[in-house]
Every structure is written in structure tokens, then in C-alpha cells.
Amino acid sequence: MANRTSAGRSGNIGSAIINALLLYGINIWPGWQVLPFLTADMARALGLINASLIAGIVVNLVCVLIRSRALLALGNLVVIGIGVAAMLRLWDVFPFDFGTAWSGWPILVRVFLVLGIVGSIIGAVVELVNLFRALAGLEPRAR
């Protein structure tokens, strides 16, 4: 069990670092503006994207300090919820302009957004089950 705990903690730290690097890269250097296919409307979705990354950092760092399956599941539900809101905002704003490139890009991006939303909903159901199992004191299934 010690290896599983240390692996979980290092995974939480790694996830927090990756989210922090993404937050820095999107907002500071080089910034989302360097991507030629993003329009100024990206600023309308940026708040939720940043909120999702920040929530991920907070949840992962809290879970390094407090090892609780219920807390992890609850934190993951929050992060997933904000992430879905960010993807829905991207769908609504659609801050992408692919110019004269392949005409299928807009459809492909929308397909990926739908896959992300559906996958997140499935992940939320899994985290709800994990939360209820943890609150009921049931052990996780062996893998």
C-alpha cells in the first residue's frame, strides 16, 4: 500500500505541475495569441479554461496533503464540472479560424469537443460512484 500512496502523491504533484505549466503557457508565455487559428474570441472562453486548470492544481495539491478517497472524488467532480463548462463555452464561442486550410477542421474540432464532454460526463459518473463508495466505507476494487 505504501507504493500505491507514494505513486498517488507523485501523480497528484505531476498533475498540478502540468496544470501550472499549461496555465503559464496559455496566459503568460508564449500565450494563446501565438496560435494562428485562435481568434480574439478566445478571451471569452479563457476564464473557464483558467478556472479549470486552477481547480485542478488546488485539488491535486490538497490531495497530496490529505489522502481521502471521498475528497479526491469530490475534487475531481468539481474539476470535471468546470472543465465541461469550459468545453461548452468553447462550443458556444468557437474561437477558431482555420482560414483556407482543410475545410473539415471546424467539424473535427466540434467532434473532439463532443468527445471531451461525453468523456467528462462518464468520468463524473465514475467519480460519483467513487464518492458514494468512499462515504459508505467500501474498499475500492482490486486492480
Residues in a beta bridge with 38: 96
Assessment of whether the complete model's pTM goes beyond 0.85: yes
Q: Encode 73-95 in three state secondary structure.
A: HHHHHHHHHHHHHHHHHHHHHCC
At 120 the pLDDT is 98
Residues in the chain: 143
pLDDT along the chain (143 residues), means of 10: 64 96 98 97 98 98 95 97 98 96 96 98 97 89 59
Q: How many CA atoms lie within 13 A of 77 on its CB side?
A: 14
11 near 59, Cβ under 8 Å?
no
**pLDDT of the residue at 5:** 60
